[in-house]
Amino acid sequence: MSLVTVWFLLICVLWTGYLVLEGFDFGAGALVRALGHTHEERGALIRTYGPFWDGNEVWLLVAGGATFAAFPDWYATLFSGFYIALFVLLVVIILRNVAIEFWGKDAGGAWKTRWEWCLVICSALPPVLLGVAWANIAHGVPLTAEGEYAGTFWTLLNPYALCGGVCTLALFLAHGAHFLALRTSGVLHERSVLAAHRLSTVALLLVAVFGAWTLALGSEPLMVVLIAVAVLAAAGAAWRSRLGSEGWAFALSAVAVTALFCALFAWLYPNAMAASSGPALSLEAAASSHYTLKVMTVVAAIFTPLVLLYQGWTYWVFRRRVGIEAA
């Protein structure tokens, strides 16, 4: 296996890791006002993922950095052609983070309400933007002979990509609800369980629709397997949620997110950017030199286990359920 393929697989792991981990706190954040009826309850919901969200965002930084270092031409095409969408994504993620930090800085109800709405909106938008982006990357966008994006912002808002965005939002909302069911107690737990029941059904339907649409456009054997896994995992999450197996429901929800986006990566390979018109940008053409990839591999082998150990330790330390009694 060449280093180009190895780094494509590593970037797939980094992006899917980010989507799984940040997916539950995006979903939980978007549900704060729906499940929390008072500021006290909403504060408890925010605390369920408060120790994790900044660590989860490390995966985004590393994924972006790895893409830049391993495949600079891919990075250049992606971040120039998708500039407006990525700028909006960056702004809403920043505002989401500010909302988490600023919510408790003032005891006033109006202050908290404003930041709660900011948190809800800025937690719901990133899943849509990420789903639209990855659907476009895998399905293809207009490219020039030099591998530069030849479309406009509106080109990205095609029906298939928008379906991917809505599907990702539903999947993340269900993922967040499963997480809250696992992390809360008392009345918050009851509401989270009910939300998980309803949202997991919606997520299953949308994963099935988006998966079927994807297979109608491209049907590589690995894609078929991964999309089948995504649908079965989404169904399993909905089933386990109704049985009260909250840990299994959350785990299967994570599998559904992983399998769905891995299917898009499988569709994309061996390209870095698929093309709806013009030549596709191949991984080989977009990659850095062999020496650069070799050095990056050594660095990744040393530091990746350390990051995983640290993040695993964080989840273990903050594993206890949160209730309004702790507010």
Is the whole model's pTM more than 0.85, yes or no?
yes
289 HSE (CA, 13 A, CB side): 3
Query: What are the structure tokens assigned to 322, written together?
Result: 């949160």
Q: Is the peptide bond before 72 cis (omega within 30 degrees of 0)?
A: no
pLDDT of residue 153: 86
**Is 323's pLDDT higher than 80?**
no
Ranges 47-56, 129-138, 199-208, 249-258: which has the least confidence: 47-56
Q: What is the CA radius of gyration of the chain?
A: 20
**Is 213's pLDDT higher than 90?**
yes
182-209 confidence digits (pLDDT tens): 999 899 999 999 999 999 999 999 999 9
Residue 162's alpha-carbon distances to 12, 108, 197, 210, in angstroms, are 22, 38, 24, 10
pLDDT of residue 326: 41
Q: Please report which confidence band the pLDDT of residue 325 belongs to, taking 50, 70 and 90 as the band edges.
A: low
